[in-house]
Structure 1
Amino acid sequence: MLFPLSGITVDPWLPPLVAFVISFFTSMGGISGAFLLLPFQLSVLGYTHPSVSSTNQLYNIVAIPSGVYRYCKEGRMVWPLAWAVVIGTLPGVLIGAVVRVTGLRDPRHFKLFAAVVILYIALKMIKDLRRRPAEAAAASKGGPLAATYGNPGTTVTITHRNLKRIGYTFQGESYDVSVMGIGVLCFIVGIIGGIYGIGGGAIIAPFLVTFFGLPVYTVAGAALMGTFVTSVAGVVFYTAIAPLYPQLSVAPDWLLGILFGLGGMAGMYLGARCQKFVPARAIKGMLVVIMLGTALKYILEFLK
């Protein structure tokens, strides 16, 4: 089947199947499948136009709502944090879209940028895998397993929110963060996410945990919500600027993106259900191997 907007020919069953498999495993590791879906489109499908980024964001729009609903239902959505992430990320995403169209048109240069992003996420996973068993056990309290199968009575309580600080309590601990600090971080991450087409959630969450000391258990929902909203903005912006670049494929391939999104939605749901039966370290180890191989391949292609 020919997808005219992307210029690729592929069987219609393949995009949802690939998205299903990727999101099934990545969701168990607490990570969106978008960052691995883009290399598949670049290397396997040969989809190297700037519109591949907006198509990847369209995947996020279709696949993410079920996850946001789950966090809201379990009372673990920190809405003030979510809106701080959205407000900080939005302008960065729009800038990233412009950079993608004007400065990273060459597939070689874009692949090098993609390799850097993938390497960052892979190194973050390696750091998690190298932690001592005691540290890993402590981290699991707010990790992917707890995030999916935690005590339904464990909820977030907002203590204060204003233009300067956001505070809340969770599992007997109090957390207080700077709105300005989150905004600056999310602005930078938004640019990266806008260029790459992942919305930035996979990058925002580790930073919020590492630099702000927030538990992953409460960060995941906010990062997911931020990814969803910024992906919507990214798709709208790419579509709006498409007429300005008639010689380029800029607007998303709607049919392809929706097919990916439907597979991703099913994969995320099933992955969350099966997560407790699969060791998290095994999942992360597998993802690290895939990401390092992909990043190395892109770097070698750029050097050649």
Structure 2
Amino acid sequence: MDDDRFRELITARVSRPAAIAEAAAKRRRPTSLLADHGRLMMIAADHPARGALAAGSRPFAMGDRVDLLDRLVLALSRPGVNGVLGTPDVLEDLLLLGALDDKVVIGSMNRGGLAGTVFELDDRFTAYDAQAIADAGFEGGKMLTRIDPNDPATVATLESCADAVSDLARHRLLAMVEPFISHRAEGRVRNELTADAMVLANAIAAGLGSTSAYTWLKVPIVDEMERAMAATTLPALILGGEVAEDQQATFANWQKALALPTVQGLVIGRSLLYPPGDDVAAAVDTAVGLL
């Protein structure tokens, strides 16, 4: 981002905050959730609001907002990329930069379970709600749904996510649910990435809310992916996870998962925004080529 564009962004936020709503109203909305290749290819950028700033070996990679925006704008400009997931601050920057025309925009909703905190599993809804997503003219909302059988905070998260699914459905907006079976160990919350855990998590997530008509799942790659995805008929997107040094192995796993009938695309963040070698365009193009 050049200095002039950066200054324009700051000036709009300081002097014309209504410019954000104006940009949202003018945004050209997509005619379908799926791109011409028949899949949904999304870039995720909701990590900073949860305090998860690391990407690979860089502990504060996502802490430079201008750099992050440059990477996002580049990724969203690549052919075949038709969606983005983010919190209000990120999506509003992208609106002001004019980067969201024809994109499927999903607002991230619960970011209160800050990474590495003692209250991480008490995942409060601190960002978008369904009404704000509808008012902005976006296509849906996403919620992280971590289920720890030994943590009483889980039930509050489940209730909040169920309410959000129902609220989004009332607006006929997509509800993207990202479920995990999670456990606190050595002061950290760890997600259980096994087929058994994902069968359980997917089954629970699919039943949240008063209807599943607008619910999609956001799921990680695990061994025996076929078993994990057989737990429900809901559409699903594969999430990218952490930055991996062996990107070819990662791409191969995504391609294998994309062959499953319920898998409708990819939602990838740091793996494409901060790839080994730092060639964002090449990493994004390779991922699109798997669809």
TMscore range, shorter length: under 0.3
Structure whose residues are more often strand by fraction: 2
TM-score (norm 2): 0.26
TM-score (norm 1): 0.25
Higher relative contact order (CA 8 A, sep 6+): 1
Structure whose residues are more often helix by fraction: 1
